[in-house]
A and B are shown apart, each in its own frame.
Chain A
Amino acid sequence: MSELVALFHGFAIALQPHNLALMVIGIVLGVVIGVLPGLGGANGVAILLPLTFTLEPVSAIILLSCIYWGALFGGAITSILFNIPGEPWSVATTFDGYPLAQKGRAAEALTAAFTSSFIGAFVAILVITFVSPLVAGFALRFGPAEFFAVMFLAFASFVGLSSGSPFKTLASMMLGFLLAGVGLDTVTGQLRGTFGSTELMRGFNFLVVVIGLFGISEILQSIEEGLSFRGREGRIDLRAVLKTWAEMLRHKAIVLRSAAIGCWMGITPAGATPASFMSYGVAKRLSPHGREFGRGRIEGVIAPETAAHAAGTSALLPMLALGIPGSPTAAVLLGGLIMWGLQPGPMLFVEQKDFVWGLIASMYLGNVVGFLIVLVAVPWFAAILRIPFPIIAAVILVVCAIGAYTVNNAAFDIVLMLIFGVLGYVMKKLDYPLAPLVLALVLGDRTEQSFRQALLMSEGSFAIFFANPLVASIMLLGFVMLFWPLLSRLWQRTPAPTAA
């Protein structure tokens, strides 16, 4: 009950006219930032952080978190329309979102993405509101072994999903792991795979690689196939929206499961990226239409988007309650809190009630406002597809170059982006799956690190991965997911041998 009282007090703060205005500004700005890859999320918030210095802390965090919501919504737009994911957790959205857009169903894909994000975030906010004291402590139980187990689970639910040649899949994934390992090794402090080059010291940033592999290669493929983007039908009208909502109702199990995966991954705090991949993988495994995933199933948009936003939102809980950021953006917000003179951590909920509940209330409102704004604004975004190809291709190239540059403030990354563009074009044409490469690139580094940290702690003993019920059950779940195709065949056979 005390939560409800505090929450209503929070609403009173968030509903003050100037805060409401900041909310709308933040969402609009966020959508713009989200559409420009490289500026999205962490970078966008970091850039604007000092500008909020003159505001009240509550107003400042409302503005920044609304930019964050806006950027989350905006990221889905480019993923679906142009196959360019602006954030790591939008990658899984492209798998089915872009094929849908190509089939002329961009409107449905966008509606599904926005609605799923909205629901995912909403569930996460409910979790934050009502069970925060309970779950905040949960993150404390996560040491390196538990992190490795979660990463293992993410990989296990995803591998074996692509239908192409197993050797091409293997090569693609190993390339991703290698790219992830370039740069400074956290565990030993040594430079790896840089071959004395300063440019390679910063490693291969996910965004640079993905903008190239997905975005640039798409432009090359489009021009090869006749100078246009396929699927110009990006119009959203009420009928498409209602139709999508009706379809989503049929997939409510996927929505709820994905939201649960997302909340769990956000609180642990493994983050939104493994959550989106894991959720996509699980949805594909459990769906009777699993084989059609990747060719434009609406569930393939719903699952990752719901999980990513549930995770992205619930990641704010460990940040506020423990001072550990669950995402890069949360890390920047954390810096903001300290700048405004607030100390994140267990005492924040006690000492800064106004701030915390104002923020939570603004999450409710910001999410609703953001959802409405993007739904209304989508016809304009869809109109982008009607701009003649030569102009839009040039503009996409420019935006991609700016995005690649701003990630590390390095012009060399623009060169890398082009190289990966050509590589992506060639790989796609030769049926090398790109998803395993990206998955390994995004999660590889953290997986290796937590594996080695865990072994450092146990002084080389593998028993640490089964040392307590928590880590053991996650590992077990990972093995189940890994051998799922085998298990499901066995399971089908045993009760009814005649059916096989």
Chain B
Amino acid sequence: MIGLRPDLAVIAQHVAPGSKVLDVGCGDGALMLALRDKRGCDARGLEIDPANVAECVAAGLSVIQGDADTDLAFYPDGAVDYAILSQTLQTTMRPRLVLDELLRIGLKAFVSFPNFAHWRVRLSLLWGGRMPVTRQLPVAWYETPNIHFSSIDDFRALVREMDVKVEDAWFLSGNQRRSAAAANLRAEHAIFLLSK
């Protein structure tokens, strides 16, 4: 899985070979291609940006142009083994609803998101008094597509409240793994594998 974004590489390594996958917010299809070509998966995608959809279709992937907030409703229950939402949760209007939908459509769900409680973000806000612009959050507040920021602990609290089971979790700072205990302070990125 060389060349994949670190969170996508983690997901690609942990999807069971030959499984059926829906990648919500699949972007240019990099993860889908890896899953199809290296893991023999039947991968489908949902993507909001038409230029990205055109890239995916041109690469031979099955991708529907649509919006995670509205179009997941059209997918049947238990349609796939894994529903994947990478770096998209924070851009949705109703993150909790989207998580519900993921776990309705997929038997399991991979969710990756940037950790807003990483120490660099905390420092930036504490000392600078300005909304942070970091490696993981590179866009100024007025242009960012991210509308629902959360920390890793926020996410843990939400899945507890939703009665969702955390099957596994990975925490990254760049390419480096971080421990679960230190994650909320030291990880830039979290990846959770969830089930109902």
> Do A and B come from the same complex?
no
